[in-house]
Amino acid sequence: MVNNTKNRFAGDSNTGSFPLRWLLLGICGAGMRSLCRTLLARGDFVVGADYDAAALQGCRDQHVESIRQGQLQLLHQQTPTDSCGDQLKPSYFNRVVHSLAVNLSSAYSGDAQAAGVPVLSLPEAVNCCFERKRQICVAGTHGKTTTSGMLWWILQHQAATECFIGGELKTSDWSAGSELSITAERAVIESCEFRRSFLNFRPAVSVLTGIEADHFDCYENEAELTAAYREFVEKTAADGTLIYNADCRLVSRLAESRNCRKTGFSTGFTGLAAWSIRNAGLNSTDNCTKIHKHHWSFQMRHQDGRVIDVSLPVPGLHNARNAAAALLAAECEGIALETAAASLGTFPGVCRRFEYRGSVRGAVMLDDYAHHPTAVRETLRTVRVLYPDRRITVVFEPHQVSRLSRLRSEFAAALLEANRVLVLPTLRAREEYSVERARHSAAELAQNISDSGGCSRVLNSLDQVSATLDDELTDEDVVITMGAGRTNTIHDQINRRIQRDFAA
């Protein structure tokens, strides 16, 4: 495969000629997949390496055409120098990029640097791709992916717009990258605070959806977290604009201190907010088993009396906030709010964000990425509004022992919104805790929920979840899998189990 494309990829890292050859380490991460889409759309050659075999198969399924054309090669390892020949050593590439979740070995950094090949972190690579474009950066603890997706959806309807989004829109050709345009003059960039990644960008427009403690492996306290966000806001161009959620105390303080154009929005009557979100709620349902048929309406009202009516195909007050941020950012790009609101009426939604995954014995099956107490609570309250008479079961996989330890009481309170909670062992992402500690932390959460009057139990594996649900599901149930790890795969396991039982 590489031999067939060698002569096509003569890009040089010093001259900047294209196309280039990229080695992406940890390609199965959401951000790395988004970077891969961008590079493939530009015509570059990409080799992606990862240890996650199942996720790699998903990448293969999404990029069949790029693989067939020899533009993409995927390796089930993160050390392609061991077995793939000289052409796949770091020195063969123009760029080596690593996810922040990947620990670079000295072999990679040493070989690449010795050959004069830049070794970039993911955010550095993203900025490299978009450094000559007008950057519209969306940051905040919650809603970054959905807000970025909504904003890109609006802008792309008016003019070509590139994007870097840590998720995939639920539209058929998103993964193929056909919506991306390398001739675009602007880019929407989801800007994460993890390890201060967002400080690599130079926003013309900054969007702050809210600030809460989340990455305890990066920020020791609120002061450190706020300082990082302050630096991000200060990178906004002098003639740029800050769009911010005035409901958030920390965000409001940052907005007050920043001397630039700024527009706030609020769900209440906050004095700092020029816009308020009113009358948010469910306005129509086609069928309660078809979550994609729900529409959530609200009004945006300005202090001067202007009113904008919005109808979203994705439910929840949290999505009304996301939409408000996207609409106001689009207005900064010269798009009338009425026009932007009409575009949002066709927004397809984002995978793993309140995603409908079918029906099993009449039970509604949902999946969500929520892995913070605030996101868990908001999502479950939305489920309750949509399905007031059903039993809500949450399958929750905590993400990081450190996060769960610091926020365990908050998680327990949020999960009480459900009728019952099945807790999986904590996913030790980027952590060195033992398996026993991960199981114990999950058991502590389950005990907290039970002590507070809830119904909760610990399950030891994903397989145990599918077996449990298979035995207990009825048409009175709503099941929602939650977490930033592997809980979305439970739906496929349940379907395979049912098909196997039916065949038997």
Share of the chain above pLDDT 90, in %: 69
Q: What is the DSSP annotation of 383-433?
A: HHHH-TTSEEEEEE--B-HHHHHHHHHHHHHHHTTSSEEEEPPPB-TT---
**CA–CA dist 185, 417 (Å, integer):** 45
Residue showing tokens 């530009």: 42
pLDDT given at position 415? 98
Q: What is the DSSP annotation of 118-177?
A: -EEEHHHHHHHHHTTSEEEEEESSSSHHHHHHHHHHHHHTTS--EEE-SS-BSSTTTTTT
Q: Residue range 149-171: average pLDDT? A: 93
- The pLDDT tens digits for 450-471 are 999 999 999 999 889 988 988 8
pLDDT given at position 91? 82
- The pLDDT tens digits for 249-265 are 999 999 998 889 999 99
Using left for φ > 0, alpha for ψ between -120 and 50, and beta otherwise, residue 334 falls in left
Q: Which two tokens stand for residue 261?
A: 């154009």
Q: Which two tokens stand for residue 277?
A: 């979100």
pLDDT given at position 174? 57
**CA–CA dist 274, 315 (Å, integer):** 24
CB 379 within 8 A of CB 370: yes
pLDDT given at position 414? 98
Q: Is residue 83 pLDDT above 70, yes or no?
A: no
- The pLDDT tens digits for 187-227 are 999 999 999 999 999 999 999 999 999 999 999 999 999 99
pLDDT given at position 82? 52
Q: Residue range 428-440: average pLDDT? A: 93
Q: Residue range 285-289: average pLDDT? A: 45
Residue 292 binned pLDDT confidence (cut-offs 50, 70, 90):
very low
- Which carries the bigger pLDDT value, residue 452 or residue 100? 452
3-state secondary structure of 326: helix
Going by C-alpha positions, the residue among 458, 504, 501, 489 that lies closest to residue 361 is 501
pLDDT given at position 81? 57
Q: What is the mean pLDDT of the chain?
A: 88
pLDDT given at position 498? 65
pLDDT given at position 84? 57
Residue 408 binned pLDDT confidence (cut-offs 50, 70, 90):
very high
**CA–CA dist 267, 319 (Å, integer):** 12
Domains and CATH numbers, the chain: 2-124 (3.40.50.720), 132-344 (3.40.1190.10), 355-503 (3.90.190.20)
Residue 10 binned pLDDT confidence (cut-offs 50, 70, 90):
very low
CB 188 within 8 A of CB 151: yes
Q: Is residue 287 pLDDT above 50, yes or no?
A: no
Q: Residue range 366-382: average pLDDT? A: 97
Q: Is residue 180 pLDDT above 60, yes or no?
A: no
Q: Which residues pair with 394 in a beta bridge?
A: 421, 480
Using left for φ > 0, alpha for ψ between -120 and 50, and beta otherwise, residue 248 falls in beta
Q: Is residue 114 pLDDT above 90, yes or no?
A: no
pLDDT given at position 239? 94
